[in-house]
Structure 1
Amino acid sequence: MTHASPPLKLDALAVGQSATVVQVVKGEDRETQDLARRLMELGFVPGERIRLLKRGMPGGEPLAIKVGNSTFALRRFEAALVAIQPE
C-alpha cells in the first residue's frame, strides 16, 4: 500500500518548478473567501498547470506565477492558499 504525499502550498514551490493546482483553500473568514474566489477567477483552478517563474527580492515577494498564457504576481500569503502537486 502506498501513501500519497499531502499537497504542498504554492508558496513552497521552487523557482522554475511546475505543478498542478489541487485546490484553493477557501478559509473561514470573509476576506480569505473573497481572495480564494479571486484566485480561482484568475485561473488557479484544480487541474490547471502552473509554474513559478521568479521570486522578488528581498524576502522572496512577490512570486511571479505563470498560469496558462498569463503571468501573475502573488504575495506569499496569497500563494499559501493554493494547494499544489509538484511535477
Structure 2
Amino acid sequence: MTQAVPFLTLDALAVGASAIVTQVAPGDVAEDGVSLSRRLMELGFVPGEKVRLLKRGMPGGEPLAIKVGNSTFALRRFEAALISIQPE
C-alpha cells in the first residue's frame, strides 16, 4: 500500500525549508495575453526544480523571498500558491 503525498503549495512552505516543484497551476491571463503560470515557469519554477523559502516579509508575510536555481525572487502569496511542491 502506498501513501499519498500531501498536497502542498509554495506559499505554505516553512522559512528555510526546501522543496521540489511538482506543478504550476494555470493562473490569470495578464493584459498582454501571457498567463501568470507561464511567467512563473519562465522565471525557473518548473517541475523538478529545487526551491527554498528564504524569508517572509513583515507585516502580513508578504512578499516571499524564494530562491530557485541561482536566482532569488520576491513572490506574492497568491503567486506562490500556484506552485505545487514536494518537501525534501
* Shift, 1:9, TM fit: 0.5
**Aligned residue in 2 for 1:52:** 53
**Aligned residue in 1 for 2:87:** 86
Q: CA separation in 2, counterparts of 1:30 and 1:56?
A: 26
Name the aligned partner's letter for residue 9 of structure 2.
K
Residue 47 of structure 1 aligns to a residue in which SS? coil
| Alignment TM-score, normalising by the size of structure 2 | 0.91
| Alignment TM-score, normalising by the size of structure 1 | 0.92
* Shift, 1:2, TM fit: 1.7
What is the aligned residue count?
Answer: 85
Structure 1 runs of 4+ with >2 Å offset: none
Larger relative helix fraction: 1
Pairwise CA RMSD: 1.3
* Shift, 1:7, TM fit: 2.8
* Shift, 1:30, TM fit: 2.8
Matches within 5 A, 1:2-81: 2-27=2-27, 29-31=28-30, 34-81=35-82
Q: CA separation in 2, counterparts of 1:64 and 1:5?
A: 25
Q: What's the CA shift string for 1:58-82, capped at 9, x where partnerless? A: 0000000000000000000000000
Structure 2: unaligned runs, 5 residues or longer: none
* Shift, 1:5, TM fit: 1.7
CA contact (8 A) 1:44 1:67 kept: yes
* Shift, 1:12, TM fit: 0.2
